[in-house]
Amino acid sequence: MERTLSIIKPDATAKNVIGQILSRFESAGLAIKGVRMMNMTSAQAKEFYAVHKERPFYGELCDYMTSGPVVVSVLEGTDAVALNRKLMGATNPKDADKGTIRADFGDSIGANAVHGSDSLENAKNEVKFFFPELD
């Protein structure tokens, strides 16, 4: 059993597909152990994405993640980290396999519908970041 963090990004919340995305997680066998709709503050976005702070897109990424509501959730299941990443598809929706969340709902590399933890270690930190009560 693993836990991972998912974020439904502003492009997807604006498209009214929150339920469809959460449903994909549940249909694949992931249980939603925590879920919250929120507006990320600039400080939260900067801290959450601090691993990318040297990347040229860091500022754009933080601005984007604070541009509208997001839905953060904790997903639990067997191999949850890898399973969630498989459901999401490649970072750039153009490269994402057919039927994945990013292929179906993403618009661009920045507005790519969802974020998901990329390793078990990062998942632990990311879950704690938004859901300290579940740690």
Residue labelled with tokens 């970072």: 91
- CB nearer to ligand CMP: pick between 80 and 133: 80
> CB under 6 A: which stretch of 21-29, 52-60, 68-76, 125-133 binds ligand CMP?
52-60
Q: Are 61 and 49 in contact (CB under 8 A)?
A: yes
| 110 binding ligand CMP? (CB under 6 A) | yes
Q: Among residues 35, 90, 109, 120, which is the contact residue for ligand CMP, using CB under 6 A? A: 109
> What's the CA gap between 2 and 12, in Å, rounded?
25
Which of 75, 101, 115, 116 is catalytic? The answer is 115
| 24 binding ligand CMP? (CB under 6 A) | no
| Residue 115 falls in the annotated catalytic set | yes
> What's the CA gap between 35 and 42, in Å, rounded?
20
| 102 binding ligand CMP? (CB under 6 A) | no
Residue 115 C-beta: closest distance to ligand CMP, Å: 3
Residues paired with residue 116 on neighbouring β-strands, in sequence order: 6
> What's the CA gap between 75 and 4, in Å, rounded?
5
Q: Are 87 and 100 in contact (CB under 8 A)?
A: yes
Q: What are the residues binding ligand CMP (CB under 6 A)? A: 52, 57, 60-61, 91, 109-110, 112, 115
